[in-house]
Structure 1
Amino acid sequence: MGLCDDLSHCKMALVIAVLMDLLGGVSLLVGVFTSLKLNGEEYGDVLVYSGVLFIVASLAGWVLWYSGNIEGLPTKTELGQPNSAVDRLARRVSRKIFSHRRKKYYSSRV
């Protein structure tokens, strides 16, 4: 019901990507359209290059946000297919690892 309900997961990655795009765009436009001179040297190129770097770096945030919002495929059991031997083996190994970690965690807390 709120403003961000459609954004679903990974809101922090979205915020980072949008901020990086805004910083990069502002830096790029300021570097292109203003004349920044300090002690007779032109520094507009630095802003242009840093703006491009911000925009390119924001792609990582967009990829994280998009990949975090991909809905998973239905499992074989949801589709009505029986479990295979590989599925049972993977589940058994996963349970053993988890139970080992749980025993280690509880023994360290005592």
Structure 2
Amino acid sequence: MGLCDDLSHCKVALVIAVLMDLLGGASLLVGVFASLKLNGEECGDVLVYSGILFLVASLAGWVLWYSGNIEGLPPKKEHGHLNSAVDRLARRVSRKIFSHRRNKYYSQSNRV
């Protein structure tokens, strides 16, 4: 089953999203381009609206499929030596920004 290996997880959400896209697209196109009459009244609007609802529902399927395929962050061991250097740099910059803001705030409150 090499064809589905790239799809990874959440294959059911993918199938639902694709089916909703197909149903919504078909319903929308039939509602727009076909002249459908029931008891002498035009009923293409119902197909257009239902097609739009199917397409909106397919967005939920796509979001579920995409969010189900997001891989978590790799463990720290895989980051290697660079990770610890980046962490130290980020902490140092964050502390300097925080201490600068704190000193600025205290100096303004003492003036009042």
**TM-score (normalizing by structure 1):** 0.68
Residue 68 (structure 2) pairs with residue 65 (structure 1): no
Instruction: Show the counterpart of 2:44.
Output: 44
Superposed CA deviations along residues 57-94 of structure 1, whole A, max 9, x for unmatched, are 0001000100011110124466579xxxxxxxxxxxxx
Q: Offset of 1:2 from its aligned partner?
A: 1.5
- Rounded to whole Å, the distance in 2 between the matches of 1:22 and 1:38 is 24
**How far apart are residue 36 of structure 1 and its match?**
0.6
Matched, 1:56 2:85: no
| Alignment partners' CA distance in 1, 2:75 and 2:61 | 28
Determine what percentage of the aligned residue pairs are the same residue: 88
Distance, in Å, in 1 between the alignment partners of 2:7 and 2:47 is: 31
- The answer to whether residue 35 in structure 2 is matched with residue 35 in structure 1 is yes
Taking the TM superposition and a 5 Å limit, the aligned residue runs for 1:3-42 are 3-42=3-42
Structure 1 residue runs of 5 or longer lacking an equivalent are: 82-110
Q: Once superposed, which parts of structure 1, at least 4 consecutive aligned residues long, lie more than 4 Å away? A: 76-81
What is the CA–CA distance in structure 1 between the aligned matches of 2:66 and 2:79, rounded to whole Å?
26
Stretches of structure 2 that go unaligned for 5 or more consecutive residues are: 84-112
**Higher percent of residues as helix:** 2
Structure 2 residue matching 1:3: 3-state secondary structure: helix
CA RMSD of aligned residues (A): 1.8
Q: Which has the larger radius of gyration?
A: 2
In structure 2, give the amino acid aligned to 1:73: L
Aligned counterparts of 2:76 and 2:5: Cα–Cα separation in 1: 29
Q: Which amino acid aligns with 1:36?
A: L
